Chain A
Amino acid sequence: MHEFNLKMTKIMALVVVVSVIFIMIGGIQLLKNNYYLRWPYFVLQWNYLKAEASYINYKYDGIMNMALHKSPVNFNPADTKNAKLIPVLIYHGVITDSNWKPDGTNIFLQDFQAQMFALKKDGWQTISMEDYIDFVRGEKQLPEKSFLLTFDDGRKDSFYNGDPVLRAVGYKATMFVITGASMDDGQSPFHLSQQELRQMIATGRWEMDSHTQNGHGSMPIDPSGKWNHFLTNKMWLAGKGRLETNDEYAKRVAGDLAGAKSDIEKKLGVKSVPAFAYPYGDFGQNPSNFPAVQTALTKIVSSIYSVSFIQASNNDYVSNAADGSFMSKRIEVDSSIDAAHLVRMLDNSRYKNLDYADNFSKDNGWLEGWGSRRIDNGEMLIGTTNTDDSASTFLSGTSLWQNYLMSAEAAVRNGDSFALTSRYSNEDSYATCDFTGDAVDLEQKVPGRNIPDITARLGNEIVPGATVNVAMQVNGNSASCYLGGVPVLSGTLDSSLTQGGVGFKMWDPAHKETLSVKNLKVSGILPSFPVK
C-alpha cells in the first residue's frame, strides 16, 4: 500500500541533485575543454564538407563527370627525382568576407583553395618542418615538387577556412604562433586559442612554431615617441632617458623568443619547436636604431631555434637549397597571385639541369629584379619603367649552377648597351659582362667590397637594333666575355662568387631602349682539374 516512501524519496532527491551537480560540472568542463561540442567545430565541419565537395568537383572536372572518369583528370603523378631546391609558401589570413579588399597580405578562401587544388594537380606535396630542416642540412633527400606550407600569426581564419582545404587535398602546414596572443583565455576573436591550437595539432595536419611571444609589434625607440619593430630596434627607456644597452636588448629579445618556445612546448605539449618566423620578415634589414642588429638578432635567434624564415625579396631566388643556411626564404602569397601563376612559379623554381636552352616560347621562370620584362614569341624584351632607370632579370632555378658558358643573341633597340649576368646569387652578389657600344667590362658585385671593373676596348661592334652573339663563361675563378663567338675579355672572379645563375641587365636613364634576347644556351663545364 505504501507507494510513497519518504526515506527513498530523500535518497532519490539527493541522488538526482548530486547527479545534476556532476552533470553540470562535467558538462561545463566538457564544453570548456572539448572542442567538438562548440559552435566553431560545426562551422569547421561544414567548411570541410564544402572543401571536399569542391575538391571532388575539381578532381573529376565537374561532378557530373565523376561517373565517366574513374580516376582524377590530368593529375600529375608524384615526382621520383630528388629535389635540389625547396620552396616555402607563406600565407596569413584566409578570408571569406566578400566585402574584403585584397590587401597584399591575406587571401580569399576561393583563391587559396584554387591554389592548393592546382598545386595538388601539378603533383606538389607538402613536407614536415622536420623534413625541411633535414633537407636544408643535407641530411635527407626529398622528392621534387616538395614544398613547405606556412601560415603566420596564428589567426582563427587560417584554421577555420584553410584547414578544410588542406584536409581535402591531404596537405599539412606549419602555423607560426604569436604565443602571447594565443595562449590566454581564448577570448580573442582573431587569434587562435590554446585549445584550438591543440585541436589543430590533433588533426595531424598542423605543426606549431614560433612567431614570438609578444614581439610581433612595435615599441618606442626614441624620445620623440617614434615606434618601430620590437625585435630589430633598441627600446627607448623613458624612465632612464636612454636606449637599451646591447645586453638589455639581448636579454629582452632572448626572453621573448625563449618564452614563445616554452609556451608552445609546455602549453601545447609539443616536443620540439625548431623554427622561428621573423615578424614582418624583418631580420634587421630595415632601418633601425641599432646598427649591428642583424648580427645580434641572428645570434639570439640561432641560439634558440634551428631554422628561421623571412619573406623572399624581389631580387632573390624564391627557393631554398640544401646549403645548411639558418635563414630560409618564403614566397608570400596573396590574392594577387592566381593559381596558375603560383604553379608556374613553383615549377620554374625547381633546379634546372645543365645544359639548358631557352627559346623564349614561354616563361621558364625569369624573375624580375627590377625594370620590366616580357616574354613574347621567341624573344625576351627587357626595358626600364617609370621608376627604374635600369632593368635586371635572372632565371629561377639556376642558383646552384657553378661552371658554365651562357650564350645568347642580343639586340638593343634605340641603344647599344646591355649586360649578361652570371653567378647571380642575389642583387648584391653577381658578375656581369657589360657591353657598351665600343667596350666590354667585367663587373663584379660583392657585398661590402668594391671590385674594380676590367675593361676591353672594342670597335663599334654593337649597333642599335643589330643582333649580336654574346656569351659569358664562368669556370672556377675565371670569367670571360665573348662577342661574336670570340673571347674579348678575361678576368678573375672574387672568391665569394662561387655559384649562381644567369640573367640579363640593361641601363637606360633616358627610358627609350629595349633589350631583346633570343636563343639562350647555357652549357655546363665539367670542373677542370689542374694538369701537371
Chain B
Amino acid sequence: MNTQVKVSTQGAAFAGRSIKKNLVDLLYRAFIIASGAALLFVLILLKSKTTADFQSKPLVFSYAIFVTAFELSRIISAMFYKNSFSSLLDGRELSDRAEDYEPQAAFVIPCKNEEKDIEDTVAKCFKVDYPPEKLEVIVVNDGSTDGTMKILAGLKKRYPKLQVVDWPENQGKRWAMAAGFKISKAKIIIQMDSDSSVDPDSFRELIDPFRNVRVSAVCASGEPQNAGKNMLTKMQAAYYFMSFHILKAAESTYDTVFCCSGCCSAYRKSAVMPVLYDWLAESFLGKPVTWGDDRALTSHLLKAGGKTIFNSKARAYTIVPERMEKLLVQQLRWKKSWIINFFFTIRFIFKKQPFVAFFYYLPLIAISFLTPIMAFNALIYVPLTTHTFPFYYALGVMLITAIMALYYRYLDKENKYWPYLFLWALFTMFVLSFVIVWAVVRIQDRGWGTR
C-alpha cells in the first residue's frame, strides 16, 4: 500500500512536472510564433518604407518579395519535416516491419594524408551501437604520402575486422568511395570524411529509415566538432544548424534532399550500384569533376527515383575551417559543385519532382544568381552614387535572419550558437553572395585548393 502511494505520488509529481514542462514549452512556442508574426509585420513595414514601387523598379520590388517568400517557404516546409519523416516509417513502402531492423552496414572512409585524424575516426566507427558482426569498416588509402598507411596497419592489428584498401597512387575521392562500395558486402554503406565521426548512440538513426524501400540515401545532421574554437567556427556552427535543421529538413519534407552531405551520409548499396559508373564518369566542359561527389551522387539517386532524406536524430561531427581563407576556399568549391550540378539536375528534376522543381529548385537558382546583382546594387552601387549607407538593406537581411533565428530557437532551445547566425548573415551578405560570381569565373579550375 505504501509502495502504491509512493508510486502514485511520484506519478503525480511526474505528471505535474510534465504538465508544467508542457506548459512552459507551449508558452515558449507561442512566444516564438508571436515573435515571428511580429517580425514579419516589421519586415513588411520596413519594405513598405524602403522598397521601390513595382511600377518604378519592378526588379527590385519583385526580388524583395521573392527572396523573403523563399526564405519563409523554407521555414514553412521545414515545419512539416517531422510529419514527413515519421510517415516514411508508417507507410506502405516498408520492406521490413521488424523492430530490430539490422541489415549489414559498412563504413567507407576514403583518406589521403590523414595521419592526424584517421585513428580517431576509425576507432569511433567501431564504437557505434550496432552488432559488430553486422558492421564493416573500409578505409581506402588514396595514395597517402605521410604516415597514414602505417597508422592503418597498426589499426588493422587492433581491429582485425578493419578492411584497408591501399592505393600507392592517388585516384581521387570518388574512385576511393567507389572502391569501398564495390568491395563491401553490406546493404547500407555509410560514407564518411576522414575527419568526421558519427555519434555512436544515434548510429541506428542512419540505418532505420532504409526500412522504407524507396529511401536511397539518408543524410545525418552535421555539427562542427571544433565549434567553440573561434568566432568563425561559432558562425559556422550556427550556419550548420540552420543548414541542416531548416534547409535540409525543408528539402527532406518532399523526400528530395539535394545534397546528402559528404561528412556523413548513408546509402543503399542496391540504389548506388546502378548509377555508380555514371557518377564516376561525371565531367563538365570536358574536364572531370573532382569535388562535389556527395551532391552528384545524391542527384543520381534522385534521378533514379529514390528518396533522399535527412534524419535530424542522426548526429555526425566534422571539423570546420578555422581560418577565413580556408573557409572561402571551401565555400568556393561548394559553389562550383553547385553550379556544375545544376546542369545535371535541371535536366531531370522537372520530370521527376515537378513540385520541388518549381517550388524550390528554380527559385533557388534565380536567387543564387540575382543576389550578387542585387547585393552589388544595394551595397556598392547605390551607396557610392548616393552616398548613403545601405542601412535598410542590411536591416531587411537582419529581419529575415531574425525570423530564421526564431525558428532555430523553436527547434532547439539548447543550441547556444544562434546569435552567430546574424554574423553569418552579414558575412553572407558582404562576402559569400559574391563568391558565386568567382565560382563561375574559376569553374574550370578543378583543384581542391587546400582542405
Contacts and interface: CB of A to CB of B under 8 A. Distances in A.
Contact of B44 (A6, A10, A24): A24
Given A17-B73, A20-B72, A6 B48 contact: no
A49 interface: no
Contacts of B83: 3-4, 9
Contact of A6 (B45, B72, B86, B255): B255
A3 B80 CA distance: 12
B359 A14 contact: yes
Contacts of B53: 32
B48 A17 contact: no
Given A10-B254, A31-B48, 4 more contacts: A20-B68, A21-B65, A28-B48, A31-B49
A29 B48 CA distance: 7
Nearest to B91: A2
A68 interface: no
Interface string B40-55: 1100110111010100
Interface of A: 1-4, 6, 9-10, 12-14, 16-17, 20-21, 23-25, 27-32
Interface string B59-75: 00000010011001100
A124 B91 CA distance: 83
A25 B86 contact: no
Contact of B76 (A2, A17, A24, A31): A17
Interface in B3-51: 40-41, 44-45, 47-49, 51
A2 B47 contact: no
Given A2-B87, A4-B83, A13 B77 contact: yes
Contact of A9 (B40, B41, B91, B253): B253
A109 B253 CA distance: 61
22 contacts: A2-B91, A3-B90, A4-B84, A6-B84, A6-B87, A9-B80, A10-B254, A14-B359, A16-B73, A20-B69, A20-B72, A21-B65, A21-B69, A24-B44, A24-B47, A24-B68, A28-B44, A28-B48, A28-B51, A29-B48, A31-B45, A32-B53
B355 interface: yes
Interface string B219-257: 000000000000000000000000000000000011100
Contact of B84 (A9, A17, A23, A30): A9
A403 to B, nearest CB: 66
Top 3 closest pairs, chain A to chain B, by CB: A31-B48, A4-B87, A27-B44
Given A6-B254, A9-B83, A16-B76, A32 B90 contact: no
Contacts of B72: 17, 20
A24 B84 contact: no
A10 B355 contact: yes
A431 B59 CA distance: 73
Interface of B: 40-41, 44-45, 47-49, 51, 53, 65, 68-69, 72-73, 76-77, 80, 83-84, 86-87, 90-91, 253-255, 355, 359
Contacts of A1: 90
Contacts of A4: 80, 83-84, 86-87, 90
A127 B383 CA distance: 49
A17 B77 CA distance: 9
Contacts, number: 72
Contacts of A9: 80, 83-84, 253-254
A37 to B, nearest CB: 8
Contacts of B68: 20, 24
A31 to B, nearest CB: 3
Contacts of B253: 9, 13
A478 B54 CA distance: 74
A13 B69 contact: no
B270 to A, nearest CB: 23
Contacts of A31: 44-45, 48-49
A242 B80 CA distance: 76
B355 A17 contact: no
A32 B48 contact: yes
Contacts of A25: 65
A17 B69 contact: yes
A13 B359 contact: yes
Contacts of A13: 73, 76-77, 80, 253, 359
Contacts of A21: 65, 69
Contacts of B87: 2-4, 6
B171 to A, nearest CB: 40
Nearest to B52: A185
Contacts of B45: 31
A88 B359 CA distance: 64
Nearest to A31: B48
A30 to B, nearest CB: 8
A167 B53 CA distance: 33
Nearest to A17: B73
Contacts of A23: 40, 44
Nearest to A27: B44
Nearest to A30: B48
B73 A2 contact: no
Nearest to A11: B355
A24 B253 CA distance: 25
Nearest to B72: A20
Nearest to B253: A9
A24 B254 CA distance: 25
A32 B80 CA distance: 34
Nearest to A15: B76
A346 to B, nearest CB: 43
Contacts of A6: 84, 87, 254-255
Nearest to A28: B48
B78 to A, nearest CB: 10
A27 to B, nearest CB: 4
Nearest to B48: A31
A185 B73 CA distance: 32
A2 B49 CA distance: 46
Nearest to A187: B49
Nearest to B68: A24
A267 to B, nearest CB: 15
A25 B253 CA distance: 27
Contacts of A16: 73, 76
A104 B166 CA distance: 95
A28 B51 CA distance: 8
B168 to A, nearest CB: 49
Among A1, A2, A13, find the residue whose CB has the most chain B CB atoms closer than 10 A: A13
A6 B45 CA distance: 34
Contacts of A2: 87, 90-91
Contacts of A17: 69, 72-73, 76, 359
Contacts of B254: 6, 9-10
Given A2-B91, A4-B87, A21-B69, A27 B48 contact: yes
